[in-house]
Structure 1
Amino acid sequence: MKVAVLGCGGMGAIHAGIYASLANVQLTGVCDANRQLADTLAEQTGTVAYYSFDDMLANADFDAVSIALPTYLHKEYTLEAAKARKHIICEKPIALSLEDAREMMNACEENNVRLFVGHVVRFFPDYIHLKQTLDSGKLGRPAVAHASRIGAHPGSWFHDEKLSGGVIVDLMIHDLDFLRSCFGEVESIYALNAKQEELDYALVTLRFENGTIANVEANWGYPGPFHTKAEIAGSAGIVRANSLKSSSLQIVKNKASSDSTGSVVIPGSPGYRSPYELQLEHFIRSIEDGSEPIVTAADAYKALELALYARESAATGKAVYLKGGNAQ
Protein backbone atom coordinates (compact mmCIF):
# COMPACT_ATOMS: atom_id res chain seq x y z
CA MET A 1 0.00 0.00 0.00
CA LYS A 2 1.48 3.34 -1.07
CA VAL A 3 0.59 6.16 1.32
CA ALA A 4 1.28 9.90 1.51
CA VAL A 5 0.89 12.36 4.38
CA LEU A 6 -0.62 15.84 4.08
CA GLY A 7 0.47 18.05 6.96
CA CYS A 8 3.89 17.70 8.59
CA GLY A 9 3.19 19.05 12.08
CA GLY A 10 2.81 16.97 15.25
CA MET A 11 0.24 14.46 14.03
CA GLY A 12 1.61 14.36 10.49
CA ALA A 13 5.04 13.44 11.85
CA ILE A 14 3.50 10.60 13.84
CA HIS A 15 1.63 9.27 10.80
CA ALA A 16 4.67 9.51 8.53
CA GLY A 17 6.95 7.84 11.05
CA ILE A 18 4.55 4.94 11.47
CA TYR A 19 4.05 4.45 7.73
CA ALA A 20 7.82 4.45 7.22
CA SER A 21 8.12 1.63 9.77
CA LEU A 22 5.32 -0.64 8.51
CA ALA A 23 6.49 -3.55 6.36
CA ASN A 24 3.39 -3.53 4.14
CA VAL A 25 3.34 0.24 3.53
CA GLN A 26 5.48 2.49 1.34
CA LEU A 27 5.54 6.17 2.29
CA THR A 28 5.82 7.94 -1.06
CA GLY A 29 5.57 11.59 -0.01
CA VAL A 30 4.91 14.15 2.69
CA CYS A 31 3.43 17.58 2.05
CA ASP A 32 3.26 20.89 3.87
CA ALA A 33 3.19 24.54 2.82
CA ASN A 34 5.88 25.06 5.43
CA ARG A 35 8.91 23.92 3.45
CA GLN A 36 11.10 23.45 6.52
CA LEU A 37 8.60 21.10 8.14
CA ALA A 38 8.15 19.13 4.90
CA ASP A 39 11.90 18.88 4.20
CA THR A 40 12.73 17.81 7.76
CA LEU A 41 10.04 15.12 7.87
CA ALA A 42 10.94 13.83 4.39
CA GLU A 43 14.57 13.47 5.48
CA GLN A 44 13.58 11.71 8.70
CA THR A 45 11.33 9.21 6.93
CA GLY A 46 13.28 8.70 3.71
CA THR A 47 10.67 10.05 1.33
CA VAL A 48 9.99 13.04 -0.94
CA ALA A 49 8.85 16.48 0.26
CA TYR A 50 6.08 18.38 -1.53
CA TYR A 51 4.88 21.90 -0.78
CA SER A 52 1.39 21.76 -2.26
CA PHE A 53 -1.22 19.03 -2.43
CA ASP A 54 -1.69 19.61 -6.15
CA ASP A 55 2.01 18.96 -6.70
CA MET A 56 1.88 15.80 -4.63
CA LEU A 57 -1.20 14.57 -6.49
CA ALA A 58 0.52 15.18 -9.82
CA ASN A 59 3.90 13.65 -8.99
CA ALA A 60 3.61 11.17 -6.12
CA ASP A 61 2.23 7.65 -6.51
CA PHE A 62 -0.06 6.79 -3.60
CA ASP A 63 -3.27 4.89 -2.89
CA ALA A 64 -4.19 6.57 0.39
CA VAL A 65 -3.44 9.85 2.14
CA SER A 66 -3.37 10.83 5.79
CA ILE A 67 -4.84 14.30 6.28
CA ALA A 68 -3.15 15.71 9.39
CA LEU A 69 -4.09 19.34 8.89
CA PRO A 70 -5.92 21.79 11.16
CA THR A 71 -9.60 20.92 11.44
CA TYR A 72 -10.83 23.83 9.32
CA LEU A 73 -8.92 22.37 6.34
CA HIS A 74 -10.28 18.82 6.60
CA LYS A 75 -13.21 19.30 4.25
CA GLU A 76 -11.30 21.09 1.48
CA TYR A 77 -8.57 18.48 1.19
CA THR A 78 -10.81 15.49 1.75
CA LEU A 79 -12.90 16.58 -1.23
CA GLU A 80 -9.76 17.03 -3.35
CA ALA A 81 -8.38 13.64 -2.35
CA ALA A 82 -11.72 11.90 -2.98
CA LYS A 83 -11.96 13.39 -6.48
CA ALA A 84 -8.45 12.08 -7.13
CA ARG A 85 -9.65 8.59 -6.08
CA LYS A 86 -7.45 8.41 -2.98
CA HIS A 87 -8.51 6.63 0.20
CA ILE A 88 -8.49 9.05 3.13
CA ILE A 89 -7.37 8.75 6.74
CA CYS A 90 -8.38 12.04 8.37
CA GLU A 91 -7.53 13.19 11.86
CA LYS A 92 -10.41 13.88 14.21
CA PRO A 93 -12.74 15.70 14.40
CA ILE A 94 -14.06 14.85 10.96
CA ALA A 95 -15.13 18.48 10.38
CA LEU A 96 -16.50 21.55 12.13
CA SER A 97 -20.12 21.17 10.95
CA LEU A 98 -22.43 18.28 10.17
CA GLU A 99 -23.00 19.69 6.69
CA ASP A 100 -19.26 19.59 5.95
CA ALA A 101 -18.95 16.09 7.42
CA ARG A 102 -21.82 14.80 5.29
CA GLU A 103 -20.35 16.41 2.17
CA MET A 104 -17.02 14.67 2.87
CA MET A 105 -18.71 11.30 3.39
CA ASN A 106 -20.81 11.69 0.24
CA ALA A 107 -17.76 12.65 -1.86
CA CYS A 108 -15.95 9.52 -0.73
CA GLU A 109 -18.95 7.32 -1.47
CA GLU A 110 -19.44 8.87 -4.92
CA ASN A 111 -15.77 8.34 -5.81
CA ASN A 112 -15.66 4.82 -4.37
CA VAL A 113 -12.94 5.56 -1.81
CA ARG A 114 -12.84 4.87 1.91
CA LEU A 115 -12.92 7.54 4.63
CA PHE A 116 -11.44 6.81 8.05
CA VAL A 117 -11.33 9.24 10.98
CA GLY A 118 -8.69 9.05 13.69
CA HIS A 119 -10.63 8.55 16.90
CA VAL A 120 -7.54 6.89 18.33
CA VAL A 121 -8.89 6.42 21.86
CA ARG A 122 -10.63 3.29 20.60
CA PHE A 123 -7.11 1.83 20.17
CA PHE A 124 -5.69 2.72 23.60
CA PRO A 125 -5.24 -0.43 25.72
CA ASP A 126 -6.88 1.07 28.82
CA TYR A 127 -10.01 1.98 26.88
CA ILE A 128 -10.09 -1.36 25.08
CA HIS A 129 -9.98 -3.01 28.51
CA LEU A 130 -12.79 -0.79 29.82
CA LYS A 131 -15.08 -1.74 26.95
CA GLN A 132 -14.14 -5.43 27.06
CA THR A 133 -14.95 -5.52 30.78
CA LEU A 134 -18.29 -3.79 30.15
CA ASP A 135 -19.15 -6.12 27.26
CA SER A 136 -18.24 -9.20 29.31
CA GLY A 137 -21.13 -8.53 31.68
CA LYS A 138 -18.87 -8.53 34.76
CA LEU A 139 -20.09 -5.07 35.74
CA GLY A 140 -23.74 -6.05 35.59
CA ARG A 141 -26.17 -3.41 34.36
CA PRO A 142 -24.21 -0.22 33.48
CA ALA A 143 -25.29 2.79 35.54
CA VAL A 144 -22.71 5.58 35.70
CA ALA A 145 -19.59 6.54 33.75
CA HIS A 146 -17.02 9.28 34.18
CA ALA A 147 -14.37 10.44 31.71
CA SER A 148 -11.90 13.30 31.73
CA ARG A 149 -9.23 14.54 29.33
CA ILE A 150 -7.04 17.33 30.67
CA GLY A 151 -3.97 19.21 29.48
CA ALA A 152 -2.39 22.52 28.59
CA HIS A 153 -3.98 24.85 26.06
CA PRO A 154 -2.51 24.03 22.62
CA GLY A 155 -2.56 27.70 21.61
CA SER A 156 -2.30 28.99 18.04
CA TRP A 157 -5.44 28.46 15.90
CA PHE A 158 -7.05 26.37 18.66
CA HIS A 159 -7.95 29.68 20.37
CA ASP A 160 -10.42 30.43 17.57
CA GLU A 161 -13.51 28.26 18.04
CA LYS A 162 -14.47 28.86 14.40
CA LEU A 163 -11.26 27.06 13.37
CA SER A 164 -10.93 24.36 16.04
CA GLY A 165 -14.42 23.89 17.48
CA GLY A 166 -13.07 24.56 20.97
CA VAL A 167 -12.31 22.07 23.70
CA ILE A 168 -15.58 20.16 23.26
CA VAL A 169 -15.27 19.53 19.51
CA ASP A 170 -11.51 19.02 19.47
CA LEU A 171 -10.70 17.26 22.77
CA MET A 172 -13.84 16.00 24.50
CA ILE A 173 -15.00 14.42 21.24
CA HIS A 174 -12.63 11.51 21.98
CA ASP A 175 -14.63 10.56 25.06
CA LEU A 176 -17.99 11.27 23.45
CA ASP A 177 -17.10 8.78 20.72
CA PHE A 178 -15.82 6.19 23.19
CA LEU A 179 -18.85 6.43 25.49
CA ARG A 180 -21.25 6.15 22.58
CA SER A 181 -19.39 2.98 21.51
CA CYS A 182 -20.03 1.64 25.01
CA PHE A 183 -23.62 2.66 25.69
CA GLY A 184 -25.28 3.44 22.37
CA GLU A 185 -27.36 6.49 21.51
CA VAL A 186 -27.77 9.53 23.74
CA GLU A 187 -31.12 10.71 25.10
CA SER A 188 -30.13 14.12 26.51
CA ILE A 189 -27.11 16.41 26.87
CA TYR A 190 -26.43 19.21 29.33
CA ALA A 191 -23.18 21.19 29.14
CA LEU A 192 -21.24 23.94 30.89
CA ASN A 193 -18.30 25.72 29.26
CA ALA A 194 -15.96 28.30 30.84
CA LYS A 195 -13.44 30.23 28.73
CA GLN A 196 -10.60 32.61 29.39
CA GLU A 197 -7.51 33.51 27.38
CA GLU A 198 -5.59 30.31 28.18
CA LEU A 199 -8.50 28.24 29.50
CA ASP A 200 -11.29 26.34 27.80
CA TYR A 201 -13.08 24.05 30.26
CA ALA A 202 -16.21 21.99 29.64
CA LEU A 203 -18.32 19.65 31.74
CA VAL A 204 -21.02 17.64 29.98
CA THR A 205 -23.64 15.26 31.36
CA LEU A 206 -25.06 12.65 29.00
CA ARG A 207 -28.08 10.45 29.59
CA PHE A 208 -28.07 7.45 27.27
CA GLU A 209 -31.16 5.68 26.00
CA ASN A 210 -30.15 2.58 28.00
CA GLY A 211 -30.34 4.64 31.22
CA THR A 212 -26.61 5.14 31.80
CA ILE A 213 -25.51 8.57 33.01
CA ALA A 214 -22.07 9.85 32.01
CA ASN A 215 -20.18 12.93 33.20
CA VAL A 216 -17.45 14.06 30.79
CA GLU A 217 -14.79 16.67 31.54
CA ALA A 218 -12.35 18.34 29.16
CA ASN A 219 -9.86 21.05 30.01
CA TRP A 220 -7.43 23.12 27.97
CA GLY A 221 -5.49 25.13 30.53
CA TYR A 222 -4.30 22.64 33.13
CA PRO A 223 -0.78 23.56 34.33
CA GLY A 224 0.33 19.97 34.89
CA PRO A 225 0.90 17.02 32.56
CA PHE A 226 -1.71 15.83 30.07
CA HIS A 227 -3.73 12.98 31.52
CA THR A 228 -6.96 11.04 31.12
CA LYS A 229 -9.25 9.18 33.48
CA ALA A 230 -12.27 6.99 32.86
CA GLU A 231 -14.48 4.67 34.87
CA ILE A 232 -17.60 2.64 34.31
CA ALA A 233 -19.78 1.52 37.22
CA GLY A 234 -22.51 -1.07 37.04
CA SER A 235 -24.77 -3.00 39.35
CA ALA A 236 -22.06 -5.63 39.95
CA GLY A 237 -18.81 -3.69 39.90
CA ILE A 238 -16.65 -0.87 38.63
CA VAL A 239 -13.66 -0.61 36.30
CA ARG A 240 -11.27 2.36 36.20
CA ALA A 241 -8.43 3.69 34.07
CA ASN A 242 -6.00 6.49 34.89
CA SER A 243 -3.24 7.33 32.42
CA LEU A 244 -0.97 8.72 35.15
CA LYS A 245 -1.17 5.48 37.14
CA SER A 246 -1.33 2.88 34.37
CA SER A 247 1.67 4.09 32.38
CA SER A 248 5.22 3.28 33.33
CA LEU A 249 6.38 5.59 30.55
CA GLN A 250 4.88 8.80 29.26
CA ILE A 251 6.15 10.35 26.05
CA VAL A 252 5.39 14.03 25.52
CA LYS A 253 6.35 15.52 22.17
CA ASN A 254 6.68 19.29 22.48
CA LYS A 255 5.61 21.28 19.47
CA ALA A 256 8.28 23.00 17.43
CA SER A 257 8.12 26.79 17.14
CA SER A 258 6.76 26.42 13.59
CA ASP A 259 4.27 23.69 14.48
CA SER A 260 0.68 24.82 15.01
CA THR A 261 -0.80 21.41 15.82
CA GLY A 262 -0.11 21.46 19.56
CA SER A 263 1.68 18.90 21.66
CA VAL A 264 1.03 15.22 21.12
CA VAL A 265 1.05 13.03 24.20
CA ILE A 266 1.42 9.27 23.91
CA PRO A 267 0.99 7.66 27.34
CA GLY A 268 2.16 4.10 27.33
CA SER A 269 4.58 1.44 28.39
CA PRO A 270 7.73 0.17 26.69
CA GLY A 271 5.92 -3.16 26.44
CA TYR A 272 3.11 -2.17 24.06
CA ARG A 273 2.79 -0.61 20.66
CA SER A 274 1.63 2.94 20.04
CA PRO A 275 -2.16 3.21 19.70
CA TYR A 276 -1.53 5.41 16.65
CA GLU A 277 0.39 2.56 15.04
CA LEU A 278 -2.39 0.10 15.85
CA GLN A 279 -4.96 2.51 14.40
CA LEU A 280 -3.14 3.19 11.13
CA GLU A 281 -2.29 -0.48 10.65
CA HIS A 282 -5.97 -1.30 11.20
CA PHE A 283 -7.12 1.32 8.68
CA ILE A 284 -4.63 0.09 6.07
CA ARG A 285 -5.86 -3.47 6.58
CA SER A 286 -9.47 -2.28 6.15
CA ILE A 287 -8.54 -0.65 2.84
CA GLU A 288 -6.76 -3.80 1.66
CA ASP A 289 -9.49 -6.32 2.53
CA GLY A 290 -12.56 -4.07 2.42
CA SER A 291 -13.50 -4.81 6.04
CA GLU A 292 -15.45 -2.49 8.32
CA PRO A 293 -13.16 -0.52 10.66
CA ILE A 294 -13.55 -0.41 14.42
CA VAL A 295 -14.55 3.25 14.16
CA THR A 296 -16.41 4.29 11.02
CA ALA A 297 -16.97 7.64 9.33
CA ALA A 298 -20.57 7.38 10.53
CA ASP A 299 -19.28 7.05 14.11
CA ALA A 300 -17.16 10.17 13.60
CA TYR A 301 -20.23 12.00 12.31
CA LYS A 302 -22.25 10.99 15.39
CA ALA A 303 -19.42 12.05 17.73
CA LEU A 304 -19.35 15.47 16.07
CA GLU A 305 -23.12 15.68 16.37
CA LEU A 306 -22.92 15.06 20.13
CA ALA A 307 -20.13 17.63 20.48
CA LEU A 308 -22.18 20.25 18.64
CA TYR A 309 -25.25 19.52 20.76
CA ALA A 310 -23.06 19.97 23.85
CA ARG A 311 -21.89 23.35 22.55
CA GLU A 312 -25.51 24.31 21.90
CA SER A 313 -26.44 23.39 25.47
CA ALA A 314 -23.51 25.37 26.89
CA ALA A 315 -24.51 28.41 24.84
CA THR A 316 -28.21 28.33 25.76
CA GLY A 317 -27.94 27.03 29.33
CA LYS A 318 -30.57 24.43 28.48
CA ALA A 319 -30.42 20.68 28.04
CA VAL A 320 -30.72 19.27 24.52
CA TYR A 321 -33.12 16.36 24.28
CA LEU A 322 -32.65 13.76 21.58
CA LYS A 323 -34.84 11.00 20.27
CA GLY A 324 -33.46 8.45 17.85
CA GLY A 325 -30.20 10.39 17.73
CA ASN A 326 -31.81 13.69 16.69
CA ALA A 327 -32.42 16.84 18.74
CA GLN A 328 -35.99 17.64 19.64
Structure 2
Amino acid sequence: MAKLAAQRQKHIFIEKPLTHTIEEAENLLKIVAENGVKVQVGHVERFNPAFLSLKGMHLAPMFVEAHRLATFNPRGTDVSVILDLMIHDIDLILHLVPSEVKSIHASGVSVVSATPDIANARIEFENGCVANLTASRMSLKQMRKPDAYISLDFLDKNAQIIRLFDKNDVSTEGGNMMELETARGTKLIDIQMPEPMNVNAIQMELETLAQSILDDTPTRVTIHDGYKALKVAHQIIAEIGDSTIS
Protein backbone atom coordinates (compact mmCIF):
# COMPACT_ATOMS: atom_id res chain seq x y z
CA MET A 1 0.00 0.00 0.00
CA ALA A 2 2.84 2.38 0.84
CA LYS A 3 4.48 1.58 -2.50
CA LEU A 4 1.28 2.37 -4.41
CA ALA A 5 0.81 5.65 -2.52
CA ALA A 6 4.40 6.73 -3.14
CA GLN A 7 4.14 5.92 -6.84
CA ARG A 8 1.13 8.24 -6.96
CA GLN A 9 3.19 10.91 -5.19
CA LYS A 10 1.14 10.91 -2.00
CA HIS A 11 2.75 11.67 1.36
CA ILE A 12 2.52 8.71 3.75
CA PHE A 13 2.20 7.87 7.43
CA ILE A 14 3.29 4.27 8.11
CA GLU A 15 2.83 2.52 11.43
CA LYS A 16 5.88 0.76 12.85
CA PRO A 17 7.53 -1.44 11.86
CA LEU A 18 8.22 0.21 8.51
CA THR A 19 7.89 -3.06 6.57
CA HIS A 20 8.01 -6.80 7.25
CA THR A 21 11.42 -7.37 5.65
CA ILE A 22 14.64 -5.43 5.04
CA GLU A 23 14.29 -6.02 1.30
CA GLU A 24 10.83 -4.40 1.30
CA ALA A 25 12.20 -1.44 3.28
CA GLU A 26 15.10 -0.91 0.87
CA ASN A 27 12.70 -1.09 -2.10
CA LEU A 28 10.38 1.43 -0.44
CA LEU A 29 13.29 3.79 0.30
CA LYS A 30 14.13 3.81 -3.40
CA ILE A 31 10.52 4.42 -4.52
CA VAL A 32 10.03 7.23 -1.97
CA ALA A 33 13.24 8.96 -3.10
CA GLU A 34 12.29 8.64 -6.79
CA ASN A 35 8.87 10.21 -6.18
CA GLY A 36 9.93 12.89 -3.69
CA VAL A 37 7.24 12.12 -1.11
CA LYS A 38 7.41 12.54 2.64
CA VAL A 39 7.11 9.54 4.95
CA GLN A 40 6.70 9.54 8.71
CA VAL A 41 6.99 6.27 10.63
CA GLY A 42 4.77 5.74 13.65
CA HIS A 43 7.38 5.47 16.39
CA VAL A 44 4.99 7.26 18.73
CA GLU A 45 7.28 7.21 21.78
CA ARG A 46 9.27 10.03 20.15
CA PHE A 47 6.26 12.17 21.09
CA ASN A 48 5.87 10.84 24.63
CA PRO A 49 5.91 13.78 27.11
CA ALA A 50 8.72 12.10 29.07
CA PHE A 51 10.93 11.98 25.97
CA LEU A 52 9.92 15.48 24.86
CA SER A 53 11.08 16.85 28.22
CA LEU A 54 14.68 16.17 27.10
CA LYS A 55 14.40 18.63 24.20
CA GLY A 56 17.33 21.02 24.06
CA MET A 57 19.60 18.88 26.22
CA HIS A 58 22.91 17.80 24.70
CA LEU A 59 23.07 14.14 25.66
CA ALA A 60 25.84 11.62 25.09
CA PRO A 61 24.69 8.49 26.97
CA MET A 62 27.27 5.77 27.52
CA PHE A 63 24.90 3.26 29.12
CA VAL A 64 21.21 2.71 28.46
CA GLU A 65 18.95 0.27 30.28
CA ALA A 66 15.50 -0.12 28.72
CA HIS A 67 12.61 -2.23 29.99
CA ARG A 68 9.38 -2.45 28.01
CA LEU A 69 7.06 -4.87 29.75
CA ALA A 70 3.45 -5.37 28.71
CA THR A 71 0.67 -7.66 29.85
CA PHE A 72 -0.34 -10.37 27.39
CA ASN A 73 -2.57 -9.31 24.51
CA PRO A 74 -3.29 -11.65 21.57
CA ARG A 75 -2.96 -8.66 19.24
CA GLY A 76 0.51 -8.49 17.82
CA THR A 77 1.54 -12.07 18.54
CA ASP A 78 1.82 -12.72 14.79
CA VAL A 79 5.22 -10.98 15.03
CA SER A 80 8.01 -11.29 17.58
CA VAL A 81 8.13 -9.09 20.67
CA ILE A 82 11.14 -7.40 19.05
CA LEU A 83 9.06 -5.97 16.20
CA ASP A 84 6.01 -5.47 18.41
CA LEU A 85 7.51 -3.73 21.48
CA MET A 86 11.31 -3.56 21.55
CA ILE A 87 11.47 -1.65 18.26
CA HIS A 88 10.22 1.47 20.10
CA ASP A 89 13.30 1.48 22.33
CA ILE A 90 15.59 0.58 19.42
CA ASP A 91 14.38 3.72 17.64
CA LEU A 92 14.83 5.91 20.74
CA ILE A 93 18.33 4.63 21.40
CA LEU A 94 19.44 5.01 17.77
CA HIS A 95 18.09 8.58 17.94
CA LEU A 96 19.97 9.38 21.18
CA VAL A 97 23.33 7.67 20.60
CA PRO A 98 25.50 9.48 18.02
CA SER A 99 27.32 6.37 16.84
CA GLU A 100 27.04 3.32 14.60
CA VAL A 101 26.17 -0.11 15.99
CA LYS A 102 29.26 -2.27 16.56
CA SER A 103 27.77 -5.56 17.74
CA ILE A 104 24.55 -7.16 18.96
CA HIS A 105 24.00 -10.09 21.32
CA ALA A 106 20.50 -11.33 22.05
CA SER A 107 18.39 -14.17 23.42
CA GLY A 108 14.67 -14.84 23.51
CA VAL A 109 11.95 -17.15 24.75
CA SER A 110 8.72 -18.23 23.08
CA VAL A 111 5.97 -18.77 25.64
CA VAL A 112 2.59 -18.76 23.89
CA SER A 113 3.35 -17.79 20.30
CA ALA A 114 5.56 -19.10 17.52
CA THR A 115 7.93 -16.12 17.87
CA PRO A 116 9.77 -14.76 20.94
CA ASP A 117 7.46 -13.32 23.63
CA ILE A 118 10.36 -12.31 25.89
CA ALA A 119 13.66 -11.00 24.56
CA ASN A 120 16.85 -9.34 25.75
CA ALA A 121 19.42 -7.61 23.56
CA ARG A 122 22.75 -5.99 24.26
CA ILE A 123 23.75 -3.42 21.66
CA GLU A 124 27.33 -2.11 21.64
CA PHE A 125 28.13 1.06 19.71
CA GLU A 126 31.39 2.16 18.08
CA ASN A 127 31.76 5.03 20.61
CA GLY A 128 31.66 2.63 23.58
CA CYS A 129 28.02 3.12 24.54
CA VAL A 130 26.22 -0.03 25.64
CA ALA A 131 22.44 -0.45 25.53
CA ASN A 132 20.69 -3.30 27.30
CA LEU A 133 17.10 -3.81 26.15
CA THR A 134 14.45 -6.11 27.59
CA ALA A 135 10.98 -6.57 26.13
CA SER A 136 8.21 -8.87 27.30
CA ARG A 137 4.53 -9.25 26.50
CA MET A 138 4.06 -11.80 29.28
CA SER A 139 4.45 -9.52 32.31
CA LEU A 140 2.02 -9.06 35.18
CA LYS A 141 2.68 -5.32 35.25
CA GLN A 142 3.24 -2.82 32.45
CA MET A 143 6.49 -0.86 32.60
CA ARG A 144 8.34 1.26 30.07
CA LYS A 145 11.44 2.81 31.58
CA PRO A 146 14.63 3.50 29.59
CA ASP A 147 17.26 5.33 31.62
CA ALA A 148 20.89 6.44 31.31
CA TYR A 149 21.80 9.16 33.86
CA ILE A 150 18.26 10.18 32.98
CA SER A 151 15.23 8.15 34.04
CA LEU A 152 12.24 8.27 31.69
CA ASP A 153 8.95 6.62 32.62
CA PHE A 154 7.08 6.30 29.34
CA LEU A 155 3.99 4.86 31.01
CA ASP A 156 3.48 7.60 33.61
CA LYS A 157 5.08 10.20 31.31
CA ASN A 158 7.61 11.75 33.66
CA ALA A 159 11.36 12.25 33.78
CA GLN A 160 14.05 12.51 36.43
CA ILE A 161 17.50 13.90 35.65
CA ILE A 162 20.35 13.17 38.03
CA ARG A 163 23.73 14.86 37.69
CA LEU A 164 26.85 14.47 39.81
CA PHE A 165 29.41 17.30 40.01
CA ASP A 166 32.72 17.88 41.72
CA LYS A 167 32.20 20.29 44.61
CA ASN A 168 34.62 22.89 43.22
CA ASP A 169 33.36 22.75 39.65
CA VAL A 170 29.94 24.34 40.06
CA SER A 171 28.25 27.10 42.01
CA THR A 172 25.54 26.10 44.45
CA GLU A 173 23.93 29.53 44.37
CA GLY A 174 20.32 29.40 43.30
CA GLY A 175 20.51 25.65 42.87
CA ASN A 176 18.99 22.66 44.59
CA MET A 177 22.05 20.52 45.16
CA MET A 178 22.89 18.12 47.94
CA GLU A 179 26.31 17.03 49.12
CA LEU A 180 27.16 13.36 48.75
CA GLU A 181 30.19 11.68 50.31
CA THR A 182 31.79 9.23 47.89
CA ALA A 183 35.00 7.20 47.72
CA ARG A 184 36.38 10.00 45.54
CA GLY A 185 35.52 12.78 47.93
CA THR A 186 32.55 15.10 48.35
CA LYS A 187 30.32 15.41 45.30
CA LEU A 188 27.28 17.51 44.57
CA ILE A 189 24.18 15.70 43.38
CA ASP A 190 21.58 17.64 41.41
CA ILE A 191 18.15 16.11 40.85
CA GLN A 192 15.69 17.68 38.42
CA MET A 193 12.19 16.63 37.44
CA PRO A 194 11.24 18.56 34.28
CA GLU A 195 7.57 19.41 33.86
CA PRO A 196 6.24 17.10 31.10
CA MET A 197 4.34 18.62 28.20
CA ASN A 198 0.62 17.94 28.27
CA VAL A 199 0.29 16.55 24.75
CA ASN A 200 -1.51 13.76 22.92
CA ALA A 201 1.39 11.82 21.39
CA ILE A 202 -0.67 10.20 18.62
CA GLN A 203 -2.19 13.54 17.61
CA MET A 204 1.18 15.27 17.78
CA GLU A 205 2.92 12.80 15.48
CA LEU A 206 0.22 13.36 12.85
CA GLU A 207 0.34 17.15 13.30
CA THR A 208 4.12 17.17 12.79
CA LEU A 209 3.68 15.21 9.56
CA ALA A 210 1.08 17.70 8.31
CA GLN A 211 3.39 20.59 9.23
CA SER A 212 6.36 19.04 7.44
CA ILE A 213 4.22 18.75 4.29
CA LEU A 214 3.06 22.36 4.54
CA ASP A 215 6.55 23.71 5.28
CA ASP A 216 8.40 21.24 3.01
CA THR A 217 10.68 20.17 5.87
CA PRO A 218 11.87 16.68 6.93
CA THR A 219 9.44 14.59 8.96
CA ARG A 220 10.15 14.08 12.67
CA VAL A 221 10.55 10.29 12.31
CA THR A 222 11.84 9.75 8.78
CA ILE A 223 11.68 6.64 6.63
CA HIS A 224 15.44 6.33 7.22
CA ASP A 225 14.81 6.28 11.00
CA GLY A 226 12.23 3.53 10.49
CA TYR A 227 14.65 1.61 8.27
CA LYS A 228 17.51 1.80 10.78
CA ALA A 229 15.27 0.59 13.64
CA LEU A 230 13.93 -2.25 11.48
CA LYS A 231 17.45 -3.27 10.47
CA VAL A 232 18.63 -3.49 14.09
CA ALA A 233 15.42 -5.34 15.06
CA HIS A 234 16.10 -7.96 12.37
CA GLN A 235 19.72 -8.28 13.53
CA ILE A 236 18.40 -9.04 17.02
CA ILE A 237 15.91 -11.57 15.60
CA ALA A 238 18.70 -13.24 13.61
CA GLU A 239 20.97 -13.27 16.69
CA ILE A 240 18.27 -15.02 18.71
CA GLY A 241 17.73 -17.52 15.87
CA ASP A 242 17.99 -21.12 16.96
CA SER A 243 18.83 -20.10 20.54
CA THR A 244 15.14 -19.30 21.13
CA ILE A 245 13.73 -21.56 23.83
CA SER A 246 10.19 -22.82 23.26
The TM-score, its normalising length taken from structure 1, stands at 0.58
> Would you say the 8 A contact 1:130–1:239 is kept in 2?
no
Find the residue that maps to 1:196 and give its secondary structure: coil
Change in CA separation of 1:93 and 1:216 when aligned onto 2, cut-off 3 Å: same
2:21 aligned to 83, 97, 100, which one?
97
- Corresponding residue number in structure 2 for 1:17: none
SS state at 2:62 partner: strand
Match of 1:240 among 123, 138, 151: 151
Matched, 1:294 2:220: yes
The answer to whether residue 127 in structure 2 is matched with residue 201 in structure 1 is no
User: Among 209, 217, 221, which residue is 2:134 paired with?
Assistant: 217
1: distance between equivalents of 2:72 and 2:19? Answer: 20
After the TM superposition, which segments of 4 or more aligned residues of structure 1 sit over 6 Å from their partners? none
In the alignment, is residue 283 of structure 1 matched against residue 205 of structure 2? no
Q: Who is 2:93 aligned against?
A: 179
Alpha carbons of 1:88 and 1:243: their partners in 2 closer, same or farther (altered >3 Å)? closer
Residue 294 of structure 1: SS of its match in structure 2?
Answer: coil
Match of 2:84 in 1: 170
Match of 1:305 in 2: 231
- Match 1:273 to one of 185, 199, 202: 199
Distance, in Å, in 2 between the alignment partners of 1:311 and 1:132 is: 34
Alignment of 1:229 with 2:145, yes or no, is yes
Cα distance change on mapping 1:270 and 1:114 into 2, 3 Å: closer
Instruction: Give the Cα–Cα distance (whole angstroms) in 2 for the partners of residues 239 and 289 of structure 1.
Output: 33
Q: How many angstroms does 1:111 deviate by?
A: 2.5
1:115 is matched with 39
1:250-282 deviations in whole A, cap 9, x for unaligned?
Answer: xxxxxxxxxxxxxxxxxxx99711111111111
> CA 1:210–1:132 in structure 2 vs 1: closer, same or farther (change >3 Å)?
farther
Aligned CA-pair RMSD: 2.3
Q: Which structure would you say has the larger RCO, counting Cα contacts within 8 Å and 6 or more residues apart?
A: 2
Task: Say whether the 8 Å CA contact 2:40–2:223 is kept in structure 1.
Answer: yes
Find the residue that maps to 1:159 and give its secondary structure. Answer: coil
The alpha-carbon distance between structure 1 residues 303 and 188, as it changes in their structure 2 partners (threshold 3 A), is same
State the number of aligned residues.
204
Higher helix share: 1
Give distance in 1, aligned partners of 2:213 and 2:3. Answer: 18
Taking the aligned partners of 1:125 and 1:286, their CA distance within structure 2 comes to: 20
Contact 1:94 1:301 (8 Å CA) reproduced: yes
Question: Deviation of residue 107 (structure 1)?
Answer: 1.9
Q: Deviations over 1:192-249 (max 9, x none)?
A: 111111670011111111111111111112233x3310111xxxxx2112245546xx
Give ranges in structure 1 of 5+ residues lacking alignment: 1-76, 233-237, 248-268, 318-328
**TM superposition shift of 1:85:** 2.3
Cα deviations by residue, 1:109-157 (Å, 9 ceiling, x for unpaired): 2233222111111111212334654x15xxxx6321111111123314x
Secondary structure of 1:211's match?
coil
Question: What is the CA distance between 1:81 and its match in structure 2?
Answer: 1.4
Q: Hey, what does 1:127 align to over in structure 2? A: 51
1:159 is aligned to: 77
| Letter aligned with residue 148 of structure 1 | H
Q: What does 1:140-155 align with in structure 2 at a 5 Å threshold?
A: 142-155=61-74
